[in-house]
Structure 1
């Protein structure tokens, strides 16, 4: 990354970093997308089972991997402060931490998964598919968590095109193994939705191996000598990562878990409703990759400028990113409104599921604007390493406002399952307002401090 002096230069550099991140996020999300759609075309029961499994796994993964995202602002600020020698030590400590977190997830899941599934009102076939899908997926948890650290390191250097290429290479691998294991082609076992779990686990191992090879052998990364020395485990370094990472992880967890909670609460509805809800939510999540990618790019550029103590430049970047996200959200909203039936047909050929999915997609329209505000603002705040207030705001917005309101509408009014979606929209809107207020307050506070010191 380079210092920029004009808005035009900043837009150019932000786009240079952003576009590969967007492709990367879309590629990574596509694995879940293809798991869902290919399972849906196998049968509605498999779609529902994979939906439940994904709803349990997604908040766990995103919350804990959010902790590992701390590597991005840590490395980007070290780059901005010209402290390159400290970087490999931080990355390796992040790898140690990622393996530890993965092992904790595996042990916890072994003891709690059956209890969680049995506490839900699921059809036996759906429950079995959800259980087996998660067991299959668990074989790829360790490499997946390690990859999050390696990817954060690569992205923090501004080399986002590298992670883009890695992620793009994973797609044909994932699709191929999905095809072989879901449908039982070319002598492979026909596993239905469960096969998607094994396919994704295999893909995670391959992707992580590619990342390790690139960091070790390619000149842009090998000069850091990340894997050339065995560093002892250092709890002090873990503490530094966790101080930044835990609030990030909690903020992400509170946001993603409310979607999972809604899916789990909707298990009281029939299989068609569960499958339709999950299909619509899957596409809404697909569109969310745009503001999320802008958020990740802002963390890098804002962190770089803050590390160099160029606070005015950091502010300009944050508002360029926000404007970009809102503009794209309006375009996506128009597309969603016009093509919602065609979009629903991507997920299923079952008439009932298709019609209900198209109806749910109407509500996804309103996700777009709130996501376009709250995600980039969160990314900018992470660049400042301002993370503690953010997770509190997320907790209040999603769990104090969004979920209770949605539960009330779904169970005590005529809105039914759609009431949960209205609750989600309300929580996202409150989150967008709160986070924007925090960013404005923080930037004004920094300017006042600068003015008083000059």
Structure 2
């Protein structure tokens, strides 16, 4: 089985490179907007939080099609993949319409989050441009998921890495202006994203037309009428997965809003912790995608024993990598904190916080791998319920209670984000244990 380990590791490493490139898009916009004006950075912060919440939920719906296409590949049914892909475009169209409607009408969200009126105009303009950028982003996600199912993620990664070279100068140019173009602030970052998204989609379509890899799929046949039974099957798999990702993301974004009332020191240390957590998360995410693709492939090929073996292999690898990265983070927490800030107060508070972040990551690595492999066995509702109960309930609400009402070592008066991270780490640890139990049951040989 060493070949399976090698295949999974190569797949995960390739996906990881692409995911890090995509993360760099956000880093680029943050730096550019921050250098333009404080108001631009504030508008970007609010607008990107709304866009990301919408995008990742819809992206999760489409990403959940990975096991469907990987199984068809394992069953050696390439034309079935092509038919399924064409049907998935109807689901993608519905997702685009829903997402664009939310992004074009953000008034309720802006009022609920009490965004200052002075910022709302630029946030609305920013989201209006990103509404136009959403369809190519979701269509490219379909292309990305297809390639992951085919075991060829490198084509996607090359496009993602290359697009970063376009995104950086465009964001700077559109934001600051020049060569006859007026400065547009945060909205310029959105226009740069739109151009990059359509460019990536155009290149993906060109590859689908020209590469021999896709020829057996017969993708370019005439679109069939909607098969609502198949689309319904996609939705039953994808909707719980998308909602689960939404719960994960909002548990982070809402934590930031709750911590903000403690002041800039707590917010700064939390932002550093959240950034490191997001970077570390890319590793188990990539492993989860790779493991899900291989497990589904062998299930489609009718080799359930090999699928089970690959599932456990992925679990062990994710747990090992999670422990290793957490140990590195714990050992280097002083140095990492000082890299992010020159403020002694921020460094001191962040250093104490990163111990909890290390514990959080171990649980995060395990649960992420589990949830992806569980999707290969069509288990999606139970993880969603678990997320809602533990991440929103015990983690977010529990952290709020510890921070502002007090219990044990936390008096409820000290301004620190540690209670939120402690509660979230403990909630995620319980989530990881429950998911591991679900996975063990799913991988148990049939009698």
TM-score by length of 1: 0.88
- Paired residues, what number? 440
**1:168-196: CA deviation from partner (whole Å, max 9, x where unpaired):** 11111111212212333554433333332
Deviation at 1:140, TM superposition (A): 0.6
Equivalent residue for 1:82, pick from 63, 68, 76: 76
Moved more, 225-234 or 143-152: 225-234
Aligned counterpart, 1:383: 376
State yes or no: 1:71 paired with 2:65: yes
| 1:78-112 superposed Cα distances (whole Å, 9 cap, x missing partner) | 1112222211111112122112211112113333x
Equivalent residue, structure 2, for 1:3: none
1:367–1:195 Cα change, 3 Å: farther
Alignment match, 1:427: 427
SS at 2:199 equivalent: helix
- For the pair 1:203 / 2:166, whether they are aligned, the reply is no
Residues 73 and 13 of structure 1: CA distance in aligned 2, closer, same or farther (over 3 Å) = same
The equivalent of 1:61 in structure 2 is 55
Corresponding residue of 1:147: 140
Provide the rounded CA distance (Å) in 2 between the counterparts of 1:341 and 1:51.
27
- 1:4 is matched with which residue? none
**In 2 relative to 1, CA 181–279 (structure 1 residues): closer, same or farther, beyond 3 Å?**
farther
The CA deviation at 1:122 is 4.2
After superposition, the Cα gap between the structure-2 partners of 1:355 and 1:142, relative to the gap in structure 1 and judged at 3 Å, is farther
DSSP 3-state at the match of 1:223: helix
Could you report, residue by residue, the CA deviation over 1:187-246 in whole angstroms, capped at 9, with x for unpaired residues? 443333333222222211111111111111100013312123222233222112111111
CA contact (8 A) 1:340 1:361 kept: yes
Q: Which residue of 1 is the match for residue 442 of structure 2?
A: 442
- Residue 289 of structure 1 and its aligned partner are, at CA, apart by 0.5
1:284-363 paired onto structure 2 within 5 Å:
284-337=277-330, 339-340=332-333, 343=336, 360-363=353-356
What's the C-alpha RMSD, in Å, of the aligned pairs? 2.6
The answer on 1:24 being equivalent to 2:18 is yes
Quote how far apart the aligned CAs of 1:329 are.
2.5
With over 3 angstroms needed to count, the CA separation of the structure-2 counterparts of 1:212 and 1:20, relative to structure 1, is: same
Aligned to 2:413: 414
Rounded to whole Å, the distance in 1 between the matches of 2:220 and 2:367 is 36
Match of 1:212 in 2: 205
CA distance in 2, matches of 1:347, 1:64: 32
Q: CA deviation at 1:360?
A: 4.8
Contact conserved, 1:284 with 1:364, CA < 8 A, in 2? Answer: yes
Q: Secondary structure at the match of 2:443?
A: helix
Give the aligned partner of residue 96 of structure 2: 102
Residues 249-289 of structure 1: per-residue CA shift (max 9 Å, x gap): 12222212211222233453445654553343133112101
The 1:429–1:87 alpha-carbon spacing in structure 2 relative to 1, beyond 3 Å, is same
More displaced, 264-273 or 294-303? 264-273
Residues 143-162 of structure 1 deviation map (CA, whole Å, 9 limit, x = unaligned): 11111111111110111111
2:86 to 81, 89, 92: 92
Name the residue aligned to 1:39: 33
Report the 3-state secondary structure (helix = DSSP H, G, I; strand = E; otherwise coil) of the residue aligned with 1:139.
helix
Q: Is the 8 A contact 2:71 2:300 kept in 1?
A: yes
